[in-house]
Chain A
């Protein structure tokens, strides 16, 4: 057996990259789950092309999965990777700039043959594995294809099927390098391929071959230990953002005692919420794949009218189509949750890339004065909390609520200290009671102290009434074209949103002091990067704090006071400046925008650099 040195590390960033058919997402997810189970804190970042199978071997077809894990608190998937696994030359070309100098490259040499070089537009005489261009890195070249084929020579499987097991070799090797237990992955393979024994055995065999390769060859002189993280005590699991959002919605349904109806139309990156919800019909979860985005929200409005916890979900282009119906829900003053898992760009844009550019759409993107409540999740596990909150607010205030997520946190994973159902906030819902013939006439727009109107569902005796998109008289709900009434109703619909501020937590400072030179004010999926940047800046003695807004319309009541306690307020966003406009408008604060619009998350280092520039 080869001699290896054991090393202790605080944290490591690994990036798996290959062709989109190479199974890198699966490899990354498996390594993440195992690592989370081991007790490390983790953050992950899947980065894949929109095409299901982009042309093999090309740069466009490169699919990556980055995981940052450690024995300390991990907030982001990491700016630069320490280890880069590449299955072909295109994957190397696309990802080398993200590898730190001196980092390890594990390269599948079969993916560097002349065909792959040509497909990746690399000149024949410039093979990076042999031309010396990677001299600043620690390169391990392995012919994964050859070894996999050799390991499965007796399997009776065809070459094509055998080659699909390559990713398991890489996974096994990385497990060996980081002392990870393979049991969880073996169980996964068993349950996934249980029906096809040959494929199941092949995958397990190649996984073990990867481990043995590390153990027996002398190529790897080092193995690494990353001790479990010191996290808050409790029971944890690994969770992805869209999954967490689905669980938040299901939990709200269970807690409020109403069946959930999810009307939706498939769209990236929101579809996984539909896939997840559709598994739980035994929780009275009713999913409806409509003919289009408009029917999706309209079916939800119908379900809300009937007394369900009604939700519609989509991404930006779909939300654009839903605009008119969101206006209807606002006029009907009905509980409705609208999920927007944001993606990059206008129109079709970059569907698999992340951005936070739909805040203005949520805030203002409808005809007429049409205010709705907006909440936004800040991390994968926070999708649970904020999806739950969206339902709670919608039901308690009989009002449409936007829940904003984004592609980055929707697909990212992290450890989650999941709650017990008993600890979740209560959601009490009551429908308007039936009335006798001699009771006074039912008033569908008579309001309570929250300005909410009664939820009067069909089938209830004595509550027969008509509602609609036309302006209506306050209290009676009759059609009204009266100017004073319209102004009153417009103010009431706004005031109804504003009063939600009485029912949400106050804003807190996440990192740093309550007063100081500079406040980094963020929202949504940038949380981890901003938190890490703030910690770095404070470590260097700078008087910087970080607050992250999760309730955006209305804002927490104390947000204005917090802003006043800092000399400078900077609002970093993955858009061209949206929250910053609302902040300036509402609080007259000369907040400084800091924007990135590349379809990629912030790196902590670039935030650190920017803040230093501003403070200089």
Chain B
């Protein structure tokens, strides 16, 4: 390949298919950010594979001019595992939604994270079933009134970040559709991570669940309601950066910077699983008093867990080295034979 080949642009990653999400859907932003990030990764286009399940978000691969598979509901994770295990040379991306990954594909989701193949998961969380026209999803808040829950849903919601940490994920992050810069940075970091990267993206469904994340995205409330985590920096939030999180033993508390020095705040450490577990539980309903802000950014990174694809293929290499490449005729003959004359 010609090394000085013209650098790819975001346009090179757009397929010729008309994008058919509803006008105003948060998915457009995610598509745009991915198409913006990919040219900077320095890989030829043919090495990218996008695999999705079913749902609005899962139409994503059709709009990317890469290799892609729009598979069946909840199974993109399993298909990607088989592909990455046999083709570790590829950059494999999983596109999934809250119904696809948390509900019908929940089993594959936790086992993907447990095994840790070097793939990237973009979880579009809009807290609703969009493609089937508006039923509550496993991340919908309790009491949600939808077509299938006229009296309000009785189900408690899943917290995908806490679930991922529980499944021993090695890269766990959250971003949102309305913050392109943050989204791009997080997607890039997810790609750079060797192992499975889980990026939850708060994505607005403006038709069936409009405004679900308004408090985190609107200028008027964003600063008070979100906690933008950065490695090595104290956890500060609030309209005038006037509030912080302090750890009282293992108990997080919200403090005012008028009363407490910045030096006494909790300093975010991405490599600390205990702290990541605590902060992943900042999942309060924003309407209750004294609730914690919702964290965004990288919760946790573990660079010490070997990837599934490496372990899987190392065994093949080891077997070949120890036994030599297989001899088919020897195998077919087995240990004991006899001759009939």
- Name A's B-contacting residues (CB within 8 A): 33, 36-39, 184, 228-229, 231-239, 247, 250-251, 254, 259, 261, 263, 280-286, 288, 290-292, 294-295, 298-303, 305-308, 310, 324-325, 327-328, 332, 418-421, 457-470, 478-479
**Chain A residues closer than 8 Å to B49, beta-carbon distance:** 305, 458
Q: List 6 A-B contacts (CB under 8 A).
A: A280-B326, A282-B319, A302-B83, A327-B72, A420-B329, A459-B89
Quick check: B85 and A299 within 8 Å, CB to CB? Answer: yes
Closest to B320 in A: A282
Question: Beyond A328-B71, A470-B70, is A302–B107 a contact (Cβ under 8 Å)?
Answer: no
Q: Which of A36, A299, A464 contacts B46 (CB 8 A)?
A: A464
Residues of A within 8 A of B329 (CB): 420-421
Report if A235-B80 is in contact (Cβ < 8 Å); known contacts: A250-B331, A469-B71: no
Give Cα A333–Cα B323 distance, bound, in whole angstroms: 36
Of A33, A233, A250, A469, the contact of B328 (CB 8 Å cutoff): A250
Contact A236 B332 (CB under 8 A): no
Given A235-B339, A301-B71, A306-B86, A283-B79 contact (CB < 8 Å): no
Query: Is B75 a contact of A298 with CB atoms below 8 Å?
Result: yes
- Please name the residue on chain A nearest to B62 by beta carbon: A466
Kindly list the 8 A-B residue pairs having the minimum CB-CB distance in the complex, ordered from nearest. Answer: A468-B70, A302-B82, A299-B82, A283-B326, A281-B319, A298-B78, A302-B83, A295-B78
Flag whether B21 is at the interface (Cβ < 8 A).
no
Complex Cα gap A184–B335 (Å): 10
A327 to B54 CA separation, bound complex (whole angstroms)? 15
Given contact pairs A418-B332, A468-B69, A468-B71, A458 touches B79 in the complex (Cβ within 8 A): no
Known: A237-B337, A250-B331. A308 touches B86 (CB 8 A): yes
- Give the contacting residue for B78; candidates A38, A251, A290, A457; CB below 8 A: A290
Asked whether, in the complex, the Cβ of A295 is within 8 Å of the Cβ of B333, the reply is: no
B62, B71, B108, B324, most chain A CB atoms within 10 A: B71
Residues of B within 8 A of A232 (CB): 340
Q: Is the CB of B89 within 8 A of A282?
A: no
Size class of B's contact patch? 35 or more
Instruction: List, in ascending order, chain A residues with CB within 8 A of B320's CB.
Output: 281-282, 284
CB distance A254 to B332 under 8 Å? no
Tell me whether A298 and B338 are in contact in the complex, defined as CB-CB below 8 angstroms, given that A251-B328, A292-B107, A459-B47 are known contacts: no
Q: Mark B264-304, 1 if CB is under 8 A from A, else 0.
A: 00000000000000000000000000000000000000000
Other A-B pairs beyond A39-B340, A291-B107, A325-B72, 4, CB < 8 Å: A254-B328, A261-B82, A299-B82, A465-B68
A286 touches B328 (CB 8 A): no
Q: Which residues of A contact B67 (CB under 8 A)?
A: 458, 463-466
Contacts of A458 in B (CB 8 A): 46-49, 67, 83, 87, 90
A-B interface contact total, Cβ < 8 Å: 207
B90 touches A306 (CB 8 A): yes
Contact status of A235 and B108, CB under 8 A, knowing A299-B85, A467-B69 = no
Q: B332 and A419: CB pair below 8 A?
A: yes
Closest B residue, CB atoms, query A281: B319
* Complex Cα spacing A285 to B328, Å: 12
What residues on A are CB-neighbors of B47 within 8 Å? 458-459
Question: In whole Å, how far is A281's beta carbon from the nearest beta carbon of chain B?
Answer: 4
The answer to whether residues A306 and B83 also contact, given A281-B320, A301-B71, A464-B45 and a CB cut-off of 8 A, is: yes
Task: Please report the C-alpha to C-alpha distance between residue A473 and residue B276 in the assembled complex, in whole angstroms.
Answer: 47
Contacts of B4 in A (CB 8 A): none
Tell which of B17, B77, B83 touches A478, judged by Cβ atoms closer than 8 Å: B17
Are B78 and A299 neighbours in the complex by a CB distance under 8 Å? yes
Contact partner of A459 (CB less than 8 A), chosen from B61, B64, B90, is: B90
User: Which one of B51, B68, B86 contacts A286 once the chains associate, using CB atoms below 8 Å?
Assistant: B86
B residues less than 8 Å from A466 (CB atoms): 15, 17, 61-62, 64, 67-70
Contacts of B24 in A (CB 8 A): none
Contact call B75/A288, Cβ cutoff below 8 A: no
**Complex Cα distance A254/B328, Å?**
8
* Interface hits, B126-147 → A, CB 8 Å: none
Inside 8 A of B90's CB, which chain A residues have their CB? 306, 458-459
Q: Is B65 an interface residue (CB 8 A)?
A: yes
Q: Once the chains are docked, how many angstroms separate the CA of A263 from the CA of B86?
A: 11
B212 shortest CB reach to chain A, Å = 28
CA distance A303 to B340 in the complex (A): 42
Whether the Cβ atoms of A325 and B336 lie closer than 8 Å is no
A534 → B minimal CB distance (Å):
24
A469 to B77, alpha carbons, bound, how many Å? 16
**Is B312 in the interface zone, CB < 8 Å from A?**
yes
Q: Does B341 contact A (CB under 8 A)?
A: yes
A246 to chain B, nearest CB (A): 10
* B325 in contact (CB, < 8 A): yes
Is the Cβ of B336 less than 8 Å from the Cβ of A184? yes
Q: Do A233 and B340 touch across chains, with their CB atoms under 8 A apart?
A: yes
Within 8 A of A (CB), among B87-138: 87, 89-90, 107-108, 111
Report A457 CB to chain B, min CB distance, Å.
8
> By the criterion CB–CB under 8 Å, are B312 and A236 in contact?
no
Does any Cβ of A come within 8 Å of B219's Cβ?
Answer: no
Provide the bound-state CA to CA distance between A237 and B78, in Å: 39
Interface contact B46-A303, CB-CB below 8 Å: no
Known contacts being A39-B338, A463-B46, A464-B46, is A300 close to B82, with CB within 8 Å? yes
Asked whether A298 lies within 8 Å of B71 as measured between CB atoms, the reply is yes
Q: Which residues of A contact B51 (CB under 8 A)?
A: 302
Asked if B72 and A469 sit within 8 Å, CB to CB, the answer is yes
Tell whether B66 is near chain A: CB-to-CB under 8 Å: yes
